[in-house]
């Protein structure tokens, strides 16, 4: 990746990392709907920040994620796209591309959520192309900032979700083991 000077992008490298709490937010996901990150507590959330609607089609990140939705659903994960575009722009884009997931408008104050997550590009007024996988308790499990012109694909997200579900299974196993130990101790 090309190194940027601080003036060009003061946020470079400051994206929130794994193991930190994902800051809650409320954003419009359409002309009449707002969603908060905390609405999805108990399930993994994929936050996909992207610079703008209407990028070229065949290599388009959102078009790819649209196709991968069944894989995300296997992990009961909710995908939320985030950019600084307004609700009407998002609505037209979703309809045109048949997108079956929410696009959130980080529009007013512009880029506020992106700033909180450390993925706002000040000189350009758009967000980085950044991915966050957040676990059911609201903690960041994985994050990745892609070079802005590169569609990062979905393999990193799926690996993170897989690893999360592995941890959950391990936790349930531990709990079951503890419970069965308690039971046998009390017998």
Partner 1 sequence: MSTNATSARAKLSLPVSERDHIIGPEDAPVTLVEYGDYECPYCGAAHLIVKEVQKVMGNSLRFVFRHFPLTQIHPHAEVAAEAAESAGAQNRFWEMHDLLYANQQLLDPAHLVGFAEELTLDTVKFARELRDHVHHEHVREDFTSGVRSGVNGTPAFFINGFRYDGSWQFGPLLKALEDGSVDANAI
Query: In the set 128, 155, 170, 179, which binds partner 1 (CB under 8 A)?
Result: 155
In the complex, minimum distance from the CB of residue 18 to partner 1, in angstroms, rounded to a whole number = 5
Examine residue 144 and tell whether it contacts partner 1 (CB under 8 A).
yes
Query: In the set 9, 116, 151, 165, which binds partner 1 (CB under 8 A)?
Result: 151
**What are the phi and psi torsion angles at 5 (to 5°)?**
-80, 160
DSSP secondary structure of 100-160: -SEEEE-BTTBTHHHHHTT-EETTTTEE-EEEEEE-TTSBEEEEEEE-TTS---SHHHHHH
Q: What is the rounded end-to-end Cα distance, in angstroms, of the chain? A: 61
Examine residue 154 and tell whether it contacts partner 1 (CB under 8 A).
yes
Asked if 122 contacts 110 with a C-beta cutoff of 8 angstroms, the reply is no
In the complex, minimum distance from the CB of residue 8 to partner 1, in angstroms, rounded to a whole number = 21
Minimum CB distance to partner 1 smaller for 14 or for 151: 151
Exactly one of 58, 149, 185, 187 is catalytic; name it. 58
Give me Rg for the CA atoms of the chain: 18
Q: 25, 100, 27, 85: which is closest to 54 by C-alpha?
A: 85
Contact positions with partner 1 (CB under 8 A) in 46-105: 57-61, 63-64, 66-68, 71, 97-100
Contact positions with partner 1 (CB under 8 A) in 11-30: 17-18
In the complex, minimum distance from the CB of residue 92 to partner 1, in angstroms, rounded to a whole number = 15
């Amino acid at each position: 990746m090309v190194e940027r000077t601080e003036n060009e992008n003061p946020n470079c490298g400051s994206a929130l990392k794994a193991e930190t709490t994902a800051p809650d937010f409320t954003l419009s996901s359409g002309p009449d709907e707002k969603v908060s990150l905390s609405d999805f507590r108990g399930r993994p959330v994929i936050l996909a920040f992207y610079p703008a609607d209407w990028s070229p089609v065949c290599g388009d990140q959102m078009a790819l994620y649209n196709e991968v939705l069944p894989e995300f659903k296997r992990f009961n994960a909710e995908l939320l796209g985030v950019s600084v575009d307004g609700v009407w722009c998002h609505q037209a884009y979703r309809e045109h591309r048949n997108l079956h997931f929410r696009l959130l408008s980080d529009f007013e104050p512009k880029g506020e959520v992106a700033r909180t997550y450390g993925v706002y590009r000040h000189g350009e007024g758009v967000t980085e192309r950044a991915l966050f996988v957040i676990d059911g308790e609201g903690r960041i499990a994985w994050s990745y900032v892609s070079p802005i012109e590169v569609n990062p694909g979905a393999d990193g997200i799926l690996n993170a979700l897989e690893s999360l579900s592995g941890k959950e299974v391990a936790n349930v196993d531990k709990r079951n083991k503890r419970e069965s130990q308690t039971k046998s101790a009390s017998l």
